Each structure stands twice: as C-alpha cells, then as structure tokens.
Amino acid sequence: MAKLKVGILISGRGSNMAALIEAARSPDYPAEIAIVVSNVASAAGLKTAQGAGVATAVVPHKEYPDRESFDRVVSAELEKHGVGLVALAGFMRIQSAWFPTHWKDRIINIHPSLLPAFPGLRVQQQAIDAGARISGCTVHFVTPELDSGPTIAQAAVPVLADDTADTLAARILRQEHRLYPLVVRWFAEGRLSVSGTQVAVAGVPRGATLLFSPAP
C-alpha cells in the first residue's frame, strides 16, 4: 500500500518536523514526508530536512500582497508533491480562511497548551501566570478560527513551582515529539473521523480519553 504523503510547514528550527521525519524512517510507518515548506529562507529546519533527503521549498510571504495569495502558492507547492496531509510545525503565519477550508480535515497543528486553554502565543508564560498546575500540548485539525479546530489528542505535563517559560516549554516539547507522529500515524491509517467538533479514533473505545499523562 502506498504511504500517505505529508507536507510540513515551518518557520524556524522545525523540531516537530524532525520528529516526524525520524518517525517516517521506520519501514512500518504509514506516512512519508514529501515536502517541507518554509516562509523563511533562513529557517534552520530546512537544512535538517535537506540533510534527511527531504525535498524543501521556500515561499517568502513578504513577496505576496495578501495572505490568500501566499496561501495559494504554498498550497500549489504541496499539491505538486502529492500531499494528502498538511502538518503545521512551528509555522508562524496566520493563514487566510481559504487555506484550512481548501485542506479541510487534511490539515493539523500541534499547539503547546491544553486547548482551549491558552491559545495564541507565549502560552507557557500564560499557563504560569494563570497559576495552572497542568499544561501540555494539543494536536488538532485546523479551521479558519485560530487554535480552535477539533481536538484529536493531548498530552499533559505538570507545571512545577519553580518553572520558567523555558523549562515548561522543554517539558511540553518532549511530549509534542511523541504525540505528533502518533496522530499522523492514525491519520495515515484512516483511523480519524470528524463530526462537528468531535474526533473519533477507530480502535479506541468510545468515551475513552485521548489525554496522555506521562511522568514529568
């Protein structure tokens, strides 16, 4: 059976991109990374992808008059490589409504909080400032509303009394690198189905939690 072709969008170092590339090295992994696209030519993740033999492309957003014009060029690049799933991995661009609508139920993102808590930026500091005792990461389908698409799975970590934004971010990132490849596997295996705001995973009992709670 042909493997699912995944396109990854990055703006920086692409650590989640690297985790997906590493997962795809396994012969039994049902997806392959077909293309990595960045809006930043100097993004460190591009060299990582190239070193792993993955095709890359740069689409500088400043060269386009509006978000949708840029998004359409990115989309064409993905489609040129036969992409069936788009994975955002530190892609620091707010997309036009056209992009997630065009890729509906075929675009996912990983966010470093337990959504719907702490959307947007500086989320680790948001969690600390709010006195949260638990934080984590969320993989969700992307919709036109920022950080609001249907949740697929989450991983929780404790917020420790002496945490800084950096120490909390590092603890969450370790779980991001575990969770994102798992969700891409589920998608590639055809196990995800979306109904409104709810996502079901075939093989997981109805009502079972998809909150992973590893040791700190």
- List residues with catalytic annotation: 111
Q: Cα dihedral angle (119, 98, 87, 139), rounded to 10 degrees?
A: 30
Provide long-range contacts, Cβ within 8 A and 24+ apart, for 19-22: 19/176, 19/177, 19/178, 19/180, 19/181, 20/87, 20/89, 20/180, 20/181, 20/184, 21/48, 21/49, 21/52, 21/54, 22/181
Q: 215 by DSSP, 3-state: which?
A: coil
- 185: which 2 tokens? 């596997």
Q: How far apart are CA 10 and CA 44, in angstroms?
A: 9
